[in-house]
A and B are shown apart, each in its own frame.
Chain A
Amino acid sequence: MLQFQNTKCECGHQNPTGTVLCESCGKPLVEDLPLDSPLEMRYDGVARRSQKANPDLLDRVWNFFSSVKIAVWLIVITLIGASVGTIFPQEDTFINLDDPAQYYKDTYGTWGYIYQSLGLARTYESWWFVGLLAMIGTSLVICSLDRVLPLYRALSKQQIRKHHAFLTRQQTVYIGQLEQEPAAWTSSFANQLRRKRYRVTAEDTALLAEKNRFSRWGPYINHIGLIIFLLAVLARGIPSWHLDEYVSMDEGQTKQIPNTNYFVKNDKFTVEFYKDEELPPELKGTNRAKLYRTEATLYECTANCNDTTGKDPVLKEVAQHDIEVNSPLSYHGLDLYQYNYEPQARLISVRPMLVDSRTGKSYGPFDLPMNDPPLTYEAGPYTLKLSNVFPDFGLDDQNRPMTKTRDPNNPAFVFIVTGPGLSEDGEMYIYFPLPSGDDKTIQNQINQSLQKAGSNSGRFTFEVGKMENVSFSQYTTFLNVRVDRAMPFIWVGAGISMIGLIMGFYWQHRRIWLRIEDGKLTLGAHTNKNTYGIRAELAAALNKTGVAVEPKALDNRRNTR
């Protein structure tokens, strides 16, 4: 606990409660310190803003966040909490996770189940983790404020002549009899220090030399940067500032980006693999992707965007880009990243011919797209009416045709053909555009059974002929769509933080005080980092002005031998 001592110094200065070293002459005020130990120079011994005699509730809360001890505890608890979150993968690493509890139980066993039910599978979104970050943020503000203002005041009105006890209890000290004339020596010593870029102020036979004071502000600038960073992270929660969606598309497909009025089309997807000779022996023969790319077009929807009643959305092309892993499509803050791809052969469209097996004549070809096929087609004199579609053909348990999924994995089309020489009702045929052998067998079987039932005469078949009449999508591409309007603030915060760190760590605030009485030189020097450096600098300056001393000998720290 703080002790509330008499804070009036013998030099006549009235110090605030909590002051360790007199703000004016530097005489130690707290007398219970071991007499010979180096002085406590943090924040120049000034009182923190929050230290006062009768704390009320506000002061207590304020003091809590103002304490570095609490700040360190917060950091330590946060780091432990963060490490707990890495034991099992977090829930958000799985894109489709319908029942997390079951998944964790199945995949990671009982411990996984406990982990998930404690909410640790969402550690970084949990209230306690966010709460810790919020407390660290508060602590950053209050700690800095409480220290930087008094420190600023202390450093901007420094007294040159310091108390003897202040000088002799610095970490770096020199005491000796001066052989030269004090005034002349002081000015030549001052010149030496100026050459090392110290700002020197002298007052009779007392001197203060100081450099790199700005480095004292480094930590606070760093903290400002961190606060901006944390606020920016929080700002990502503003709904219109943040979007994170996935879109999967086959070639030629257009899809709406969920929760937006944008649509994206996969014009073409390409993947290149490393050639065998580019691969080391153990990887030869494997498909190692070298590059993959989605040629994408972005549309903005101007009307009927979320219409479910059958009206088509009105789209306006706004951007086009070849999306690669390190090269997203960017449009007005919307970024589309190449996330992944999957080999998934799917038909886009075919151009089959209607073949009359009796005459050998073929009619067409006609365009048959797999998505949203039109209802009627013309092939020569014949009209084909689409009567049923099975995107993923299969049979149900009663052997009736059905579609197994909604994805066009194995499409089948049922047509009613009408035209010259056919009955009014037409003839019914099923057509499997996928050129696999199995499908062709099933196609024939079904058409034969339709023939038996009298639905057709077995006269027509469908043929695609050349491969150029088939357009395929070999891969499904996965795009990740992001909006992150807080990013600029994130980078600004990180940048400021970095500047603060560099200021604070790569420069050191150095100060040298001296006073000469009756030819006796008493010199003390202080730096917050790198005492080695200041000793070397000081020894060099002393040696050049005729005071022979080894850098090591200036070391005033007690434990040294």
Chain B
Amino acid sequence: MKKHRKPIQYLILAFAVLIGGYAIGRSFFTTQSVLKAGSEAPAFELADLSGQTHDLDSYKGKPLVLNFWGTFCPPCRDEMPALQKEYDKWKDQGLQLVGINLSEDRISVQQFAASVGARFPILLDRNKITEKRYGLKEYPTTFFISSDGHIQEIAIGGPMSEEDIDSHIKRLFETSPKS
């Protein structure tokens, strides 16, 4: 009994440190991690207006602008033409610009996109799943994602002007490794 006292004490203290450390450590990570510049863009797999599915991986290798928007959100509606213009301007240099609609009916999205002349690819989120994955708090939110899949900048709120978008895209191209 006496012989084993020391090891038993060590064992109990080790347990206390382990369990206590786990408990305290966990308290640091209770807040959900928020997406920041530098984080990896969360994966998604979504259908476009014609029903074809696309995932994030298929956009890798080239800079990507991801715009979350909805027809119920006035600034989203207002920045559509600017986005389209910037898309036309940069797409030949390899820019990909994708709008992700905020879980609305396909028919409303189609109608609206047609009415404002948005011809860049539009994907349809469902049940707010992708939107939650990207931790959206305000609409619109636009993610500028470099060709290696990391978020470089996040533009929250809108509408953004053509110049705004342009400068974001320029920075995206400056830092993105050319593929």
Return chain B residues, CB-CB under 8 Å to A389.
105, 107-108
Quick check: B130 and A308 within 8 Å, CB to CB?
yes
Partner of B20, one of A135, A373, A375, A391: A135
Q: Provided the pairs A390-B108, A406-B102 are in contact, do residues A231 and B19 lie with their beta carbons within 8 angstroms? A: yes
How far is B21's CA from A131's CA once the two chains are assembled, in angstroms?
A: 8
Q: Least Cβ distance of A490 to chain B in Å?
A: 16
Render B120-144 as a binary contact track against A, CB cut-off 8 A, 1 for contact.
0000111101100000010000000
Judged by DSSP, the binding face of A is mixed
- Asked if B77 contacts A402 (CB within 8 A), the reply is yes
| B83-129 interface (Cβ within 8 A of A) | 102-105, 107-108, 111, 115, 124-127, 129
Q: How large is the interface on B (under 10, 10 to 19, 20 to 34, 35 or more residues)?
A: 35 or more
Residues of A with C-beta under 8 A to B23: 130-131, 133-134, 234, 237
Bound Cα distance from A422 to B115, whole angstroms = 25
A233 → B minimal CB distance (Å): 9
The distance from the CB of A411 to the nearest CB of chain B, in whole angstroms, is 11
B3 within 8 A of A: no
A373 to B24, CA, bound (A): 50
Contact A141/B20 with A130-B27, A392-B72 known, Cβ cut-off 8 Å = no
Query: A residues 82-102 with Cβ under 8 Å of B?
Result: 98
Is A306 engaged at the interface, CB distance under 8 Å to the other chain? yes
Q: Residues of B contacting A134 with CB < 8 Å?
A: 16, 19-20, 23-24
Interchain pairs with CB closer than 8 A, number:
105
Indicate if the CB atoms of B105 and A141 lie closer than 8 Å. no
**Chain B residues with Cβ under 8 A from A133's Cβ?**
23
Residues from chain A with a CB closer than 8 A to the CB of B20 are 131, 134-135, 137-138
Contact present for A125 and B107 (CB under 8 Å): no
Chain B residues whose C-beta falls within 8 Å of the C-beta of A61 in the assembled complex: 13
Contact partner, B127, options A135, A237, A256, A396, Cβ 8 Å: A256
A403-B72 contact, Cβ under 8 Å, with A127-B24, A137-B16: yes
Closest chain-B Cβ to A485's Cβ sits at a distance in Å of: 17
Cα distance, A65 to B16, chains bound together (Å): 11
Evaluate whether A127 and B28 lie within 8 angstroms (CB atoms) in the complex, with A58-B10, A406-B103 already known. yes
**Measured between alpha carbons, how far is A294 from B30 in the docked complex, in Å?**
31
Q: Pick the contact of A309 from B24, B53, B74 — CB < 8 Å?
A: B53
Q: Are B72 and A406 in contact (CB under 8 A)?
A: yes
Cα distance A392–B104 when bound, in Å? 12
Closest to A407 in B: B72
Stretch at the interface among B44-52, B57-65, B169-177: B44-52
Is A125 within 8 A of B30, CB to CB? yes
- Nearest CB in chain B to that of A404: its residue: B72
Interfacial residues, chain A to chain B (CB-CB below 8 A) = 49, 58, 61-62, 65, 98, 122, 125-127, 129-131, 133-135, 137-138, 141-142, 145, 231, 234, 237, 256, 306-310, 372-373, 375, 386-392, 396-397, 400, 402-406
Could you jot down 25 A-B contacts, CB within 8 Å? A65-B16, A127-B28, A129-B27, A130-B26, A133-B23, A134-B16, A134-B23, A134-B24, A142-B12, A142-B16, A145-B12, A256-B127, A306-B129, A308-B125, A308-B127, A309-B47, A310-B47, A310-B53, A386-B107, A388-B111, A392-B72, A402-B72, A402-B77, A403-B108, A406-B102
Q: Identify 10 new A-B residue pairs, CB closer than 8 A, beyond the known A130-B24, A237-B26, A406-B103.
A: A58-B6, A61-B13, A125-B27, A127-B28, A129-B27, A135-B20, A138-B20, A141-B12, A309-B46, A389-B107
7 smallest CB-CB distances across A and B, nearest first, come from A134-B20, A138-B16, A309-B53, A309-B47, A310-B47, A388-B111, A130-B27
